[in-house]
């Protein structure tokens, strides 16, 4: 069986995702679709609107055959580490082609990656601009291209990850269809995930933008998972934890621990907290990710240790996905986790377990322990000759 790989957050799964999936199947002729999907927190460090099991169910109902979780130590990361972790799993799962949306699929991303090797580290020392801004300035100067759209940034990251990992899978960018990534308007059947999240309580407005499986879950949503709801936990953690301990948190540095601790003393809302911490040096996404690392108490040493032990946590499959797993499982280099037990909870899966426990503040549903993968039956369309 030839496998097609997708990297997704599905936050939530909408009509644009379904279109992308259908086009990927048509272009590759793949026998099976394997999606590596973020768990309960996104690349930007935000809690997902629906939990990973709900989003897995929607993916399986709309054409994905196998869903594997991207561990939190890769999922909640800048684009290059996010892409690196995803391709590492897809390579081990022996996918032939990885398909992803881009604003400019015609660009030669391999040549942009080659241009990056000429960058000078000394040029990234402007503390009045984010690393992303400085990176893009250098890239534009070298090549004339600007990576400003999130989908193009991820496309670049996939090509870079393939080169650095010496992977042989094909990379196939396809034109993203629908509204802009950050567009908040809903005018038809295609809308951005951020627009759908913003209008989550207006079911009449969003009903035509998402498939039935997503709509059913959104209709039952009582409150939107958000940092505002998690802020009391973050605030208490920052106030109670000594600065020297905060300095051990992954990605903490350059004195930002002092800003965060002082902001927590003063701010009663997450919005006010971020406003007090924010500088030109740090993006909102960076601060959101760092806030999650603080709550989960992820140290630099712990993060690096978990990076060394990747695994495949299976969230769901249909009979085609199950057959593919049976085909490749004996050749996998990384362990296959089908059900989380105590040994997994206390070992390699511990960071994801802690993230799931934090997300349980929204859903009240156990996210991992003894949770079996979702199993669905793939519908087969019969045609007469």
Annotated binding-site residues for ATP read 7-20, 101, 151, 176
Task: Give the containing element (helix H, strand E) for 58.
Answer: helix 52-61
Sequence-separated (6 or more) residues with CB below 8 Å from residue 3: 30, 31, 32, 33, 34, 93, 94, 95, 96, 324
List CB contacts of 11: < 8 A, sequence separation 6 or more: 38, 42, 48, 49, 50, 55, 193, 197
What residues contact residue 245 under an 8 Å CB cut-off, 6+ apart?
none
Say if residue 338 is exposed, middle or buried (CB neighbours under 10 Å; 0-12, 13-18, 19+): exposed
Q: Fill in the DSSP letter of residue 166.
A: T
CB atoms within 10 A of CB 232: 12
Q: Which helix (H) or strand (E) holds 68?
A: strand 66-70
Going by the annotation, the residues of the binding site are: 7-20, 101, 151, 176
**Phi, psi (degrees; rounded to nearest 5) at 173:** -80, 135
Q: What's phi and psi for 200, nearest 5 deg?
A: -55, -30
Closest CA to 39 of 80, 65, 77, 4: 77
Half-sphere exposure of residue 304, counting CA atoms within 13 Å on the CB side? 7
| Angstrom distance (rounded) from CA 368 to CA 358 | 12
SS3 59: helix
16 within 8 A of 23, measured Cβ to Cβ: no
């Amino acid at each position: 069986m030839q496998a097609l790989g997708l990297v997704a957050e599905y936050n939530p799964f909408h009509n644009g995702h379904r279109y992308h999936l259908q086009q990927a199947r048509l272009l590759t002729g793949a026998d099976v679709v394997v999606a590596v999907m973020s768990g309960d927190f996104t690349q930007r460090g935000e809690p997902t609107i629906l939990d990973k099991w709900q989003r897995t169910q929607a993916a399986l109902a709309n054409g994905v055959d196998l869903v594997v979780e991207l561990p939190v130590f890769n999922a909640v990361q800048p684009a290059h580490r996010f892409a690196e972790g995803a391709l590492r799993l897809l390579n081990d799962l022996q996918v032939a082609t990885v398909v992803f949306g881009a604003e400019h699929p015609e660009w030669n991303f391999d040549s942009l990656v080659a241009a990056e090797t000429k960058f000078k580290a000394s040029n990234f020392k402007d503390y009045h601009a984010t690393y992303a801004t400085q990176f893009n300035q250098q890239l534009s100067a070298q090549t004339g291209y600007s990576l400003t759209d999130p989908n193009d940034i991820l496309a670049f990251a996939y090509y870079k990850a393939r080169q650095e990992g010496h992977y042989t899978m094909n990379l196939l960018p396809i034109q993203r269809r629908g509204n802009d990534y950050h567009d908040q308007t809903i005018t038809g059947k295609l809308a951005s995930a951020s627009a759908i999240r913003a209008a989550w309580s207006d079911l009449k407005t969003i009903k035509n933008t998402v498939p039935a499986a997503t709509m059913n879950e959104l209709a039952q949503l009582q409150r939107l998972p958000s940092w505002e709801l998690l802020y009391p936990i973050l605030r208490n953690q920052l106030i109670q934890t000594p600065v020297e301990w905060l300095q051990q948190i992954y990605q903490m540095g350059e004195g930002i621990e002092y800003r965060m601790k002082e902001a927590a003393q003063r701010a009663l809302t997450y919005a006010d907290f971020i406003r007090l911490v924010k500088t030109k040096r740090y993006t909102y996404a960076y601060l959101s990710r760092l806030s999650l690392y603080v709550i989960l108490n992820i140290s630099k040493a712990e993060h690096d240790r978990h990076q060394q032990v990747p695994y495949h946590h299976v969230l769901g499959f249909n009979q085609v996905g199950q057959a593919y797993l049976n085909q490749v499982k004996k050749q996998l280099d990384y362990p296959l986790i089908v059900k989380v037990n105590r040994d997994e909870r206390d070992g390699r899966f511990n960071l994801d377990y802690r993230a799931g426990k934090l997300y349980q503040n929204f859903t009240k549903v156990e996210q991992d322990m003894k949770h079996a993968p979702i199993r669905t039956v793939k519908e087969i369309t019969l045609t007469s000759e």
